[in-house]
Amino acid sequence: MAEPAAALRGAVVRYPGRSPLGPIDLVVDPGEIVALVGPSGAGKSTALRLLAGLERPTEGVATSADPRHVAFVFQAPTLMPWADALANVALPLELSGASREEARRRASAALAAVGLGDRAGARPRQLSGGMAMRVSLARALVTEPDLLLLDEPFAALDSVTRRRLIEDLHRLWAARAPRPAIVFVTHGVEEAVYLAARSVVLDGATGRAASEHDHPGPLPRPPGWRADPAFRGAVERLADALAEAMPPAGVAA
- State yes or no: cis peptide before 77, omega within 30 of 0: no
Four-point Cα dihedral 183, 93, 178, 63, nearest 10: -50
Write the pLDDT tens digit of every residue in 211-223. 999 999 999 999 9
**Size of the chain, expressed as the number of residues it contains:** 253
User: Does 115 have pLDDT greater than 50?
Assistant: yes
C-alpha to C-alpha distance for 119 and 84, rounded to whole angstroms = 9
pLDDT at 223: 92
User: Does 253 have pLDDT greater than 50?
Assistant: no
Mean pLDDT confidence for 105-114: 92
pLDDT at 1: 60
- From edge to edge, which strands make up the β-sheet containing 59-63? 21-28, 6-13, 59-63
Mean pLDDT confidence for 91-113: 92
pLDDT confidence of 230, banded at 50, 70, 90? very high
Question: Which amino acid belongs to residue 224?
Answer: G
pLDDT at 252: 46
User: Does 236 have pLDDT greater than 90?
Assistant: yes
C-alpha to C-alpha distance for 212 and 225, rounded to whole angstroms = 21
C-alpha to C-alpha distance for 160 and 97, rounded to whole angstroms = 38
Write the pLDDT tens digit of every residue in 173-223. 998 888 999 999 998 999 999 999 999 999 988 889 999 999 999 999 999
- State yes or no: cis peptide before 23, omega within 30 of 0: yes
pLDDT confidence of 56, banded at 50, 70, 90? very high
Which CATH topology does 1-65+147-253 take? Rossmann fold (3.40.50)
pLDDT at 111: 93
Note whether 28 and 183 are within 8 A (CB): yes
C-alpha to C-alpha distance for 8 and 59, rounded to whole angstroms = 11
Residue extent(s) of CATH 3.40.50.300 domains in the chain = 1-65+147-253
Q: 151 versus 75: which is more confidently predicted?
A: 151
C-alpha to C-alpha distance for 140 and 154, rounded to whole angstroms = 15
Mean of per-residue pLDDT scores for the chain: 90
Note whether 176 and 218 are within 8 A (CB): no
pLDDT confidence of 69, banded at 50, 70, 90? confident
Task: Among 118-127, 162-171, 193-202, 237-246, name the one with the lowest average pLDDT.
Answer: 162-171
Note whether 146 and 173 are within 8 A (CB): no
- State yes or no: cis peptide before 220, omega within 30 of 0: yes
Q: 154-187 b/e with 16+ CB inside 10 Å = b?
A: beebeeebbebbbebbbebbeeeeebbbbbbbbe
pTM of the model: 0.91
